[in-house]
Amino acid sequence: MKQVFTRKVDDFFIGIYDAFHFTVRFFKEIFKRPFHFREIISLSYEIGLKSLGLITLTGFIIGIVFTKQSRPALEDFGATSWLPSLIGIAVIRALGPLVTALISAGKIGSGIGAELGSMRVTEQIDAMEVSAINPFKYLVVTRVMATTIAIPILSFYCSFVGLLGSYFNVHAHESISLISYYQNAFSSISFLDIFGSAVKAVVYGFTIGIVGTYKGFNATQGTRGVGKAANQAVVLAIFLIFIEELAIVQVINFIRYF
């Protein structure tokens, strides 16, 4: 029993070291030629296009549901006019980036893990190395850069759609134009809120990309390892996203009240 526990502890710390070394290698490779700009743009477009429908539906529903849930509490205080500002703060500061990251971790992260895992167990990555192609540069760096670019764009799009869904709910109860609604929604939003949201989205995108590529690039145990890599990519990415959310919020609040 003691030996099993010791082995698991050793594997845990070895895994942390390998992940750290993998991340350091990424930052080294990113500044080396060739840069594969066309591949990065292609992957960014593909990631964004494949996730657009799900992000649209989820963001729209979140806007409607959050508005419905918030209205009764504000009505008790006669403060329904604050509803656009409340939704704007909630969606732009937190819900937009977080919801986008969680959806992308499940859809994009698992796809990257499964794709690279399949290439690893079928020895395609080894074949690239024999052909004098740097598989880390072509497969890992391009995908991490693509997620780091695409997730922030999807995040702001999700926030916009969420506010649009909220507007339809507000408009059903009160006569307010779309322009007036967005003006009220952004009246309580500062540059720090938008900047913090962008930082969150970039960090989440990087996390999803680096975790997905790490798990897929180091997959083992044949086809069983492919499924395992995809599953671990999702679970670990979501866990890290929540940790990063907590840390970034603390930093932003410290700056806000400093």
Residue-wise pLDDT for 131-166, tens only, equals 777 888 989 999 999 999 999 999 999 999 999 999
Closest CA to 170 of 71, 94, 90, 93: 71
Please give the tally of structural domains in the chain: 2
Q: What is the pLDDT of residue 2?
A: 61
18 in the same domain as 87:
no
Q: What is the pLDDT of residue 36?
A: 85
176 in the same domain as 217:
yes
83 in the same domain as 7:
no
Q: What is the pLDDT of residue 57?
A: 93
Closest CA to 102 of 242, 244, 196, 231: 242
- Cβ neighbors of 157 (< 8 A, separation 6 or more) are 52, 55, 56, 59
17 in the same domain as 44:
no
Q: Which residues of the chain have pLDDT under 50?
A: none
- Cβ neighbors of 173 (< 8 A, separation 6 or more) are 71, 80
104 in the same domain as 65:
yes
177 in the same domain as 93:
yes
6 in the same domain as 78:
no
Residue 195 in contact with residue 93, Cβ under 8 Å?
Answer: no
108 in the same domain as 226:
yes
24 in the same domain as 127:
no
Q: What residues make up the domain containing 99?
A: 36-256
Q: What is the pLDDT of residue 247?
A: 93
21 in the same domain as 132:
no
Please give the Cα distance from 44 to 151 (Å, whole number). Answer: 9
Helix/strand/coil (H, E, C) string of 140-172? Answer: HHHHHHHHHHHHHHHHHHHHHHHHHHHHHHHHH
8 in the same domain as 103:
no
44 in the same domain as 19:
no
Residue 246 in contact with residue 204, Cβ under 8 Å?
Answer: no
pTM: 0.91
